[in-house]
Protein backbone atom coordinates (compact mmCIF):
# COMPACT_ATOMS: atom_id res chain seq x y z
CA UNK A 1 0.00 0.00 0.00
CA UNK A 2 1.15 3.52 -0.80
CA UNK A 3 1.71 5.83 2.17
CA UNK A 4 1.65 9.58 2.57
CA UNK A 5 5.45 9.55 2.57
CA UNK A 6 5.45 7.60 -0.69
CA UNK A 7 3.23 10.26 -2.23
CA UNK A 8 5.55 13.07 -1.15
CA UNK A 9 8.51 11.17 -2.61
CA UNK A 10 6.65 10.69 -5.90
CA UNK A 11 5.93 14.39 -6.17
CA UNK A 12 9.55 15.31 -5.55
CA UNK A 13 10.84 12.77 -8.07
CA UNK A 14 8.39 13.54 -10.86
CA UNK A 15 8.36 17.32 -10.49
CA UNK A 16 12.10 17.73 -9.90
CA UNK A 17 12.72 19.19 -13.36
CA UNK A 18 9.98 21.81 -13.04
CA UNK A 19 9.96 22.87 -9.40
CA UNK A 20 12.24 23.19 -6.40
CA UNK A 21 11.95 20.43 -3.80
CA UNK A 22 10.08 22.71 -1.38
CA UNK A 23 7.56 23.68 -4.09
CA UNK A 24 6.96 20.03 -4.98
CA UNK A 25 6.51 19.24 -1.29
CA UNK A 26 4.00 22.06 -0.91
CA UNK A 27 2.10 20.87 -3.97
CA UNK A 28 1.95 17.36 -2.54
CA UNK A 29 0.46 18.79 0.66
CA UNK A 30 -2.21 20.69 -1.25
CA UNK A 31 -3.19 17.69 -3.38
CA UNK A 32 -3.19 15.17 -0.54
CA UNK A 33 -5.16 17.51 1.71
CA UNK A 34 -7.65 18.03 -1.11
CA UNK A 35 -8.03 14.29 -1.73
CA UNK A 36 -8.05 12.96 1.81
CA UNK A 37 -9.51 15.84 3.82
CA UNK A 38 -6.46 15.73 6.11
CA UNK A 39 -5.06 19.03 7.32
CA UNK A 40 -1.52 19.79 6.20
CA UNK A 41 -0.36 19.38 9.80
CA UNK A 42 -1.94 15.91 9.99
CA UNK A 43 -0.27 14.90 6.73
CA UNK A 44 3.11 15.87 8.14
CA UNK A 45 2.44 14.07 11.42
CA UNK A 46 1.14 10.82 9.93
CA UNK A 47 3.40 10.12 6.99
CA UNK A 48 2.99 6.34 7.41
CA UNK A 49 -0.79 6.48 6.92
CA UNK A 50 -1.87 4.55 3.84
CA UNK A 51 -3.59 6.12 0.85
CA UNK A 52 -6.65 4.33 -0.50
CA UNK A 53 -6.46 2.74 -3.98
CA UNK A 54 -9.02 5.28 -5.22
CA UNK A 55 -6.92 8.19 -4.00
CA UNK A 56 -3.77 6.59 -5.40
CA UNK A 57 -5.37 6.50 -8.84
CA UNK A 58 -6.46 10.13 -8.57
CA UNK A 59 -3.01 11.11 -7.34
CA UNK A 60 -1.33 9.52 -10.34
CA UNK A 61 -3.69 11.29 -12.75
CA UNK A 62 -3.00 14.61 -11.05
CA UNK A 63 0.74 14.05 -11.29
CA UNK A 64 0.43 13.31 -15.00
CA UNK A 65 -1.09 16.76 -15.48
CA UNK A 66 1.33 18.54 -13.17
CA UNK A 67 4.41 17.26 -15.01
CA UNK A 68 3.18 19.11 -18.11
CA UNK A 69 3.56 22.36 -16.18
CA UNK A 70 -0.17 22.86 -15.76
CA UNK A 71 -0.80 24.95 -12.62
CA UNK A 72 -2.06 22.99 -9.65
CA UNK A 73 -5.12 25.25 -9.32
CA UNK A 74 -6.24 24.29 -12.84
CA UNK A 75 -5.56 20.64 -12.16
CA UNK A 76 -7.66 20.67 -8.99
CA UNK A 77 -10.17 23.10 -10.47
CA UNK A 78 -10.20 25.56 -7.58
CA UNK A 79 -8.15 28.06 -5.63
CA UNK A 80 -8.44 29.77 -2.26
CA UNK A 81 -8.64 33.55 -2.02
CA UNK A 82 -9.23 35.64 1.10
CA UNK A 83 -10.64 32.62 2.94
CA UNK A 84 -13.09 31.72 0.17
CA UNK A 85 -12.99 28.92 -2.39
CA UNK A 86 -13.10 29.78 -6.09
CA UNK A 87 -13.55 27.62 -9.13
CA UNK A 88 -10.84 28.36 -11.70
CA UNK A 89 -10.47 27.22 -15.29
CA UNK A 90 -8.11 28.14 -18.13
CA UNK A 91 -10.63 30.89 -18.98
CA UNK A 92 -9.66 32.74 -15.78
CA UNK A 93 -6.48 33.88 -14.12
CA UNK A 94 -5.46 32.10 -10.95
CA UNK A 95 -6.11 34.37 -7.91
CA UNK A 96 -2.86 35.47 -6.31
CA UNK A 97 -1.80 36.68 -2.85
CA UNK A 98 -0.92 40.19 -4.02
CA UNK A 99 -4.49 40.62 -5.22
CA UNK A 100 -5.64 39.72 -1.70
CA UNK A 101 -3.55 42.66 -0.49
CA UNK A 102 -5.31 44.93 -2.99
CA UNK A 103 -8.71 43.72 -1.78
CA UNK A 104 -7.71 44.37 1.83
CA UNK A 105 -6.82 47.95 0.91
CA UNK A 106 -10.20 48.37 -0.77
CA UNK A 107 -12.02 46.98 2.27
CA UNK A 108 -10.08 49.26 4.62
CA UNK A 109 -10.95 52.25 2.44
CA UNK A 110 -14.66 51.37 2.43
CA UNK A 111 -14.90 50.55 6.13
CA UNK A 112 -16.82 53.75 6.91
CA UNK A 113 -19.00 53.77 3.79
CA UNK A 114 -22.46 52.42 4.52
CA UNK A 115 -23.62 51.15 1.12
CA UNK A 116 -20.85 51.55 -1.41
CA UNK A 117 -21.30 50.87 -5.11
CA UNK A 118 -18.24 49.06 -6.50
CA UNK A 119 -17.10 48.09 -9.99
CA UNK A 120 -14.45 45.49 -10.78
CA UNK A 121 -13.06 45.75 -14.32
CA UNK A 122 -11.74 42.55 -15.92
CA UNK A 123 -13.09 40.26 -13.23
CA UNK A 124 -11.92 36.80 -14.38
CA UNK A 125 -12.92 34.30 -11.69
CA UNK A 126 -14.77 37.04 -9.82
CA UNK A 127 -12.49 36.80 -6.79
CA UNK A 128 -12.31 40.56 -6.24
CA UNK A 129 -16.01 41.54 -6.42
CA UNK A 130 -17.21 38.38 -4.69
CA UNK A 131 -14.83 38.94 -1.79
CA UNK A 132 -15.84 42.60 -1.51
CA UNK A 133 -19.53 41.66 -1.50
CA UNK A 134 -18.93 38.84 1.00
CA UNK A 135 -17.10 41.17 3.39
CA UNK A 136 -19.43 44.13 2.81
CA UNK A 137 -22.92 42.64 2.44
CA UNK A 138 -24.56 46.07 2.10
CA UNK A 139 -22.45 46.97 -0.92
CA UNK A 140 -23.77 46.98 -4.48
CA UNK A 141 -21.18 45.28 -6.64
CA UNK A 142 -20.77 45.13 -10.41
CA UNK A 143 -18.11 43.35 -12.46
CA UNK A 144 -17.27 43.14 -16.14
CA UNK A 145 -15.19 40.92 -18.37
CA UNK A 146 -14.85 40.53 -22.12
CA UNK A 147 -14.84 36.74 -21.82
CA UNK A 148 -18.22 35.01 -21.58
CA UNK A 149 -16.44 31.86 -20.38
CA UNK A 150 -14.83 33.77 -17.52
CA UNK A 151 -18.16 35.31 -16.58
CA UNK A 152 -19.76 31.86 -16.40
CA UNK A 153 -17.07 30.84 -13.92
CA UNK A 154 -17.49 34.07 -11.94
CA UNK A 155 -21.26 33.61 -11.73
CA UNK A 156 -20.76 30.05 -10.46
CA UNK A 157 -18.36 31.37 -7.83
CA UNK A 158 -20.81 34.03 -6.68
CA UNK A 159 -23.49 31.39 -6.25
CA UNK A 160 -21.12 29.03 -4.43
CA UNK A 161 -20.09 31.76 -2.01
CA UNK A 162 -23.65 32.98 -1.51
CA UNK A 163 -23.32 36.56 -2.77
CA UNK A 164 -25.15 38.69 -5.31
CA UNK A 165 -22.86 40.38 -7.84
CA UNK A 166 -24.01 41.82 -11.16
CA UNK A 167 -21.79 40.46 -13.93
CA UNK A 168 -21.83 42.10 -17.36
CA UNK A 169 -20.03 41.10 -20.55
CA UNK A 170 -18.21 44.23 -21.72
CA UNK A 171 -14.93 45.36 -23.25
CA UNK A 172 -12.57 47.19 -20.87
CA UNK A 173 -11.54 49.41 -23.79
CA UNK A 174 -15.12 50.35 -24.64
CA UNK A 175 -17.25 50.19 -21.51
CA UNK A 176 -20.55 51.27 -23.01
CA UNK A 177 -22.75 48.54 -21.50
CA UNK A 178 -25.77 50.48 -20.22
CA UNK A 179 -25.97 48.63 -16.93
CA UNK A 180 -22.38 49.66 -16.16
CA UNK A 181 -22.26 53.11 -17.76
CA UNK A 182 -25.39 54.43 -15.99
CA UNK A 183 -23.99 53.83 -12.48
CA UNK A 184 -21.82 56.03 -10.29
CA UNK A 185 -19.31 54.28 -8.04
CA UNK A 186 -17.53 54.83 -4.75
CA UNK A 187 -14.77 52.50 -5.95
CA UNK A 188 -13.52 51.23 -9.29
CA UNK A 189 -11.02 48.37 -9.04
CA UNK A 190 -9.01 46.62 -11.72
CA UNK A 191 -6.26 44.08 -12.10
CA UNK A 192 -5.99 44.52 -15.88
CA UNK A 193 -3.53 42.96 -18.34
CA UNK A 194 -0.12 44.48 -17.63
CA UNK A 195 2.60 42.01 -18.63
CA UNK A 196 4.57 43.15 -21.66
CA UNK A 197 5.82 40.86 -24.40
CA UNK A 198 9.35 41.44 -23.08
CA UNK A 199 8.30 40.42 -19.55
CA UNK A 200 6.67 37.31 -21.03
CA UNK A 201 10.07 35.94 -22.02
CA UNK A 202 11.07 35.76 -18.33
CA UNK A 203 7.94 34.00 -17.11
CA UNK A 204 7.45 30.39 -16.07
CA UNK A 205 5.77 28.14 -18.63
CA UNK A 206 2.99 27.27 -16.18
CA UNK A 207 1.78 30.85 -16.68
CA UNK A 208 2.52 31.46 -20.35
CA UNK A 209 1.33 28.04 -21.54
CA UNK A 210 -1.87 27.80 -19.51
CA UNK A 211 -3.29 31.10 -18.22
CA UNK A 212 -5.45 33.22 -20.57
CA UNK A 213 -3.28 35.56 -22.62
CA UNK A 214 -6.04 38.15 -23.06
CA UNK A 215 -6.00 38.64 -19.28
CA UNK A 216 -2.22 38.88 -19.04
CA UNK A 217 -0.40 40.56 -21.90
CA UNK A 218 -0.09 44.02 -23.40
CA UNK A 219 2.09 45.21 -26.29
CA UNK A 220 5.51 46.66 -25.48
CA UNK A 221 4.48 49.73 -27.46
CA UNK A 222 1.51 50.52 -25.20
CA UNK A 223 1.97 48.93 -21.75
CA UNK A 224 -0.54 51.26 -20.07
CA UNK A 225 -3.30 50.68 -22.62
CA UNK A 226 -5.83 49.36 -20.12
CA UNK A 227 -4.87 51.71 -17.29
CA UNK A 228 -5.52 54.73 -19.49
CA UNK A 229 -8.93 53.48 -20.65
CA UNK A 230 -10.07 52.52 -17.13
CA UNK A 231 -8.84 55.82 -15.68
CA UNK A 232 -10.85 57.69 -18.32
CA UNK A 233 -13.96 55.71 -17.39
CA UNK A 234 -13.42 56.18 -13.66
CA UNK A 235 -13.04 59.95 -14.11
CA UNK A 236 -16.61 60.13 -15.41
CA UNK A 237 -18.21 57.48 -13.20
CA UNK A 238 -16.72 57.93 -9.71
CA UNK A 239 -18.54 60.03 -7.14
CA UNK A 240 -16.69 62.94 -5.59
CA UNK A 241 -14.23 61.47 -3.12
CA UNK A 242 -14.40 58.05 -4.79
CA UNK A 243 -11.34 55.91 -5.37
CA UNK A 244 -9.68 54.12 -8.27
CA UNK A 245 -7.59 51.07 -7.36
CA UNK A 246 -5.16 49.28 -9.65
CA UNK A 247 -2.93 46.26 -9.41
CA UNK A 248 0.10 47.14 -11.51
CA UNK A 249 3.23 46.02 -13.29
CA UNK A 250 6.04 46.79 -10.84
CA UNK A 251 8.04 48.43 -13.65
CA UNK A 252 5.34 51.01 -14.37
CA UNK A 253 4.35 52.34 -10.96
CA UNK A 254 5.37 55.96 -11.57
CA UNK A 255 4.08 55.94 -15.13
CA UNK A 256 0.68 54.62 -14.03
CA UNK A 257 0.45 57.25 -11.30
CA UNK A 258 1.28 59.92 -13.88
CA UNK A 259 -1.63 58.76 -16.06
CA UNK A 260 -4.00 59.02 -13.10
CA UNK A 261 -2.72 62.47 -12.11
CA UNK A 262 -2.96 63.76 -15.68
CA UNK A 263 -6.62 62.70 -15.75
CA UNK A 264 -7.31 64.75 -12.62
CA UNK A 265 -6.94 62.21 -9.79
CA UNK A 266 -5.39 63.35 -6.51
CA UNK A 267 -3.71 61.79 -3.46
CA UNK A 268 -2.26 58.95 -5.52
CA UNK A 269 -0.52 56.37 -3.34
CA UNK A 270 1.75 53.55 -4.50
CA UNK A 271 2.08 50.49 -2.27
CA UNK A 272 4.37 47.51 -2.31
CA UNK A 273 3.22 43.92 -1.83
CA UNK A 274 4.61 41.59 0.81
CA UNK A 275 7.47 40.71 -1.55
CA UNK A 276 8.57 44.36 -1.63
CA UNK A 277 7.44 44.97 -5.22
CA UNK A 278 5.51 48.02 -6.36
CA UNK A 279 2.14 46.34 -6.90
CA UNK A 280 -0.90 48.56 -6.27
CA UNK A 281 -2.10 52.15 -6.53
CA UNK A 282 -5.01 54.06 -5.02
CA UNK A 283 -6.03 57.53 -6.17
CA UNK A 284 -8.95 59.78 -5.26
CA UNK A 285 -11.37 61.50 -7.59
CA UNK A 286 -11.90 65.11 -6.44
CA UNK A 287 -15.05 65.64 -8.47
CA UNK A 288 -15.65 67.72 -11.53
50 and 137 inside one domain: no
**Per the structure, how many domains does the chain have?**
2
User: Per-residue confidence of the chain (288 residues) as pLDDT tens digits?
Assistant: 589 999 999 988 998 888 888 888 889 999 999 998 999 899 989 999 999 999 999 999 999 999 988 899 999 999 999 999 999 998 898 899 999 999 999 999 999 888 999 999 999 999 999 999 999 999 999 999 999 999 999 999 999 999 999 999 998 888 777 889 899 999 999 998 766 655 655 545 554 455 454 555 666 667 798 899 999 999 999 999 999 999 998 888 999 999 999 999 999 999 999 889 999 999 999 976
**Same domain for 34 and 140:** no
What does the buried/exposed string (b/e) look like for 244-260 if buried means 16 or more CB atoms within 10 Å of the residue's CB? bbbbbbebbbeebbebb
Question: Does one domain contain both 156 and 247?
Answer: yes
Say if CB 192 and CB 121 are below 8 A apart.
Answer: yes
pLDDT the model gives residue 206: 52
Within this chain, do residues 57 and 191 fall inside the same structural domain, yes or no? no
62 Cβ contact list (under 8 Å, min separation 6) = 31, 75, 76
Domain boundary among 33, 67, 101: 67
- 96 within domain boundaries: yes
Whether 59 and 110 share a structural domain: no
User: Does any domain span residue 27?
Assistant: yes
Residue 103 shares a structural domain with residue 141: yes
- Which residues constitute the domain of residue 44? 4-67
The answer to whether residue 81 sits within a structural domain is no
Answer yes or no: do 219 and 249 share one domain.
yes
Assigned domain for 82 exists = no
Are the CB atoms for 173 and 225 separated by under 8 Å? yes
If asked whether residues 156 and 239 sit together in one domain, one would say yes
Identify whether residues 122 and 217 lie together within a single domain.
yes
Q: Do the domain assignments include residue 76? A: no
First to last CA, the chain: 70
Look at residues 156, 132, 153, 152 and name the one whose alpha carbon lies nearest to residue 142. 132
**Pair 272, 235 in one domain:** yes
Q: Flag whether 187 is in a domain.
A: yes
CATH code, domain with 189: 3.40.50.150
Query: In this predicted structure, what is the pLDDT of residue 179?
Result: 85
Domain identity same for 96 and 157? yes
The pLDDT assigned to 211 comes to 47
Q: How far is CA 274 from the centre of its chain?
A: 16
Q: Are residues 62 and 94 in the same domain?
A: no
Amino acid sequence: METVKDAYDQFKAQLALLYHSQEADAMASVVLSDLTGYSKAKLKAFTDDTISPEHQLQLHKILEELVTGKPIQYVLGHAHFYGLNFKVTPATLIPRPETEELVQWVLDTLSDVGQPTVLDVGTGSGCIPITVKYQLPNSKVFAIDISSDALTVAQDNAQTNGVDVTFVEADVLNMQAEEIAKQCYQVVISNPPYITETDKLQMHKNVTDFEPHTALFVPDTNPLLFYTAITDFAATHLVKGGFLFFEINESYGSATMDVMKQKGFINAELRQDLMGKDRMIRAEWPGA
